[in-house]
Amino acid sequence: MVYGFLYPMIVFPNCKINLGLHVVSKRPDGFHELETVFYPLPLTDALEVLSPGTLSFTTSGIDVPGDQTDNLCLKAWRLLKQDFPELPAVNIHLHKNIPIGAGLGGGSADAAFMLQLLNNRFQLDLSKEQLINYAAVLGSDCPFFIENKAVYATGRGEIMQPIDLDLSGWSFVLVYPAVHINTGWAFGRITPQAPTRSLQESIMQPLATWKDTISNDFETAVFSAHPELAIIKENLYTAGAVYAAMSGSGSAFVGIFPKNKIGDLHFHPAYKVFVL
């Protein structure tokens, strides 16, 4: 299943969730060897591009922190401009709806969709493989959004193998508690170790088994510092989730429910809850 279809001048970058996440080892380059499954969900931003002759970037929706000139959408344009000098300056508007810093890959999705939009809008004739290579320059999660299908990912997350995983018969609840988890801090509290069972094998088992076989290595460290987040996972199971976990390094959580059979959801009123 693929979400986020392209339109002539506007695209709708979708989020992803991590189904399981193992930190396997520390690499010589300072990064960590990971094992995870990325799965796309239809919670989207909106990204619009016009070509007025000047380069600009504006946002609406959720506030985008930091220096906007460093936004990944602009970086995607600059990256292509290096190899395609004829690429015109564009006016970019991003309506942000996917929570930021939540482990949902929203920024990576925006960058990847920007590459695809420019490729289609200005007929750059880049292949999928070329787009994936450009996306990898922008971030480890970005290549996933070029394929935008379920994948088993290793390396830093950039080595992807498609898997036959269709969860369209289930309902999803995403919960974002607006707690910022610093990724570097989270990695620093994990002792890498190889899992006893490959996630690639576990993910192919019935979903009812995932609760006992699929884990996120970041949860122990994050829950110890933020015990209120463990309650989110408990509440998802109480509401009838078959599987619930933190996505990525957090702090968003995903609950997978039988289709249209979501029980009462009890969360702090400040939390953002998305039913998909």
Angle of CA points 7, 9, 12, to nearest 5° = 55
**Which residue type sits at 199?**
L
Classified as helix, coil or strand, 264 is coil
In this prediction, residue 162 carries a pLDDT of: 95
In this prediction, residue 8 carries a pLDDT of: 47
Q: Running along the chain, 276 residues long, what does each successive block of 10 average in pLDDT?
A: 53 96 84 91 96 90 87 97 95 95 92 96 95 94 94 88 96 93 82 87 96 93 92 97 92 95 93 96
Give the residue from 34, 7, 61 showing the smallest Cα distance to 190: 34
In this prediction, residue 2 carries a pLDDT of: 45
Segments of the chain assigned to CATH 3.30.70.890: 170-275
HEC per residue, 241-256: CCEEEECCCCCCEEEE
Q: Which two tokens stand for residue 265?
A: 């959801």
* Cβ neighbours, 10 Å, residue 69: 10
Segments of the chain assigned to CATH 3.30.230.10: 10-162
CA 93, chain centre distance (Å): 20
Which residue among the candidates 45, 96, 110, 141 is catalytic per the annotation? 141
Residue 141 among the catalytic residues: yes
Classified as helix, coil or strand, 201 is helix
N-to-C CA span, the chain = 14
Q: Would you state the CATH architecture of domain 10-162?
A: 2-Layer Sandwich (3.30)
Classify residue 216 by its DSSP letter: B
Cα 236 to Cα 238: distance, rounded to the nearest angstrom: 5
In this prediction, residue 241 carries a pLDDT of: 98
Whole-structure pTM value: 0.91
In this prediction, residue 6 carries a pLDDT of: 42
Which residue among the candidates 16, 96, 149, 233 is catalytic per the annotation? 16
* Cβ neighbours, 10 Å, residue 230: 16
153, 34 Cβ separation under 8 angstroms:
yes
CATH no. for 170-275: 3.30.70.890
Phi, psi at residue 149, to the nearest 5°?
-130, 165
Residue 16 among the catalytic residues: yes
